[in-house]
């Protein structure tokens, strides 16, 4: 592999690395219970929880490592961790 000058890399090139494959437990978001506080989005270390047009939150499973912070911190307990079948 040839190194670029100064070992430079394109901004955000880490997106090529789909960390979702690391996951063992998958967060399932229950939109019925959601109060739209956005805690899951704020506290996600991956930054992979996104808000949709209705103000509801969904994780991007291509990157979600399944750490479970969102499920523990959700004040409405609207997120549950389920063992993923692969």
Partner 1 sequence: MAEKTCELFDCGHRACGGCGAALAARLVTKAAGKDSIFVSSTGCMEVFSTPYPETAWKVPWIHSLFENAAAVASGIEAALKKQGRKEKIVIMAGDGATFDIGMICISGAFERGHDFTYICYDNEAYMNTGIQRSGATPYDASTTTSPAGKCSFGNKRPKKDMPAILAAHGAPYVATTSIAYPADLLQKVEKAIATPGPSYVQVHAPCCTGWGFEGEQTIAIAKLAIETGLWVNYEMIDGKITKVKKVVRKPVEEYLKTQKRFRHLFKPIRQDAEIAAIQAIADKNAEKYGIDIKLNKKE
Residues that bind partner 1 (CB under 8 A): 1, 3-4, 7, 9-19, 22-23, 42-48, 60, 62-63, 65-69, 71-73, 81
Distance CA 74, CA 41 (A): 10
Smallest gap, in angstroms, from Cβ of residue 28 to partner 1?
A: 14
CB-based contacts of 58, cutoff 8 Å, min separation 6: 29, 49, 50, 52
Cβ proximity to partner 1, 30 vs 51, nearer residue:
51
Q: Which is nearer to partner 1, 24 or 30 (CB)?
A: 24
CB of 56 to partner 1, least distance (A): 16
For the CB of residue 58, give the shortest distance to partner 1 in the complex, in Å: 14
The token pair at 27 is 């967060």
Asked if 19 and 46 touch (Cβ cutoff 8 Å), the reply is yes
Question: How many other C-beta atoms are found inside a 10 Å radius of the C-beta of residue 79?
Answer: 23
């Amino acid at each position: 592999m040839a190194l670029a000058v100064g070992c430079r890399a394109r901004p955000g090139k880490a997106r090529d690395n789909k960390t979702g494959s690391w996951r063992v437990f998958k967060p399932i978001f229950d939109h019925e219970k959601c109060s739209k506080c956005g805690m899951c989005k704020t506290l996600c270390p991956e930054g992979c929880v996104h808000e949709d047009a209705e103000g509801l939150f969904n994780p991007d499973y291509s990157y979600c490592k399944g750490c479970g912070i969102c499920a523990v911190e959700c004040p409405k307990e609207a997120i549950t961790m389920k063992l993923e079948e692969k």
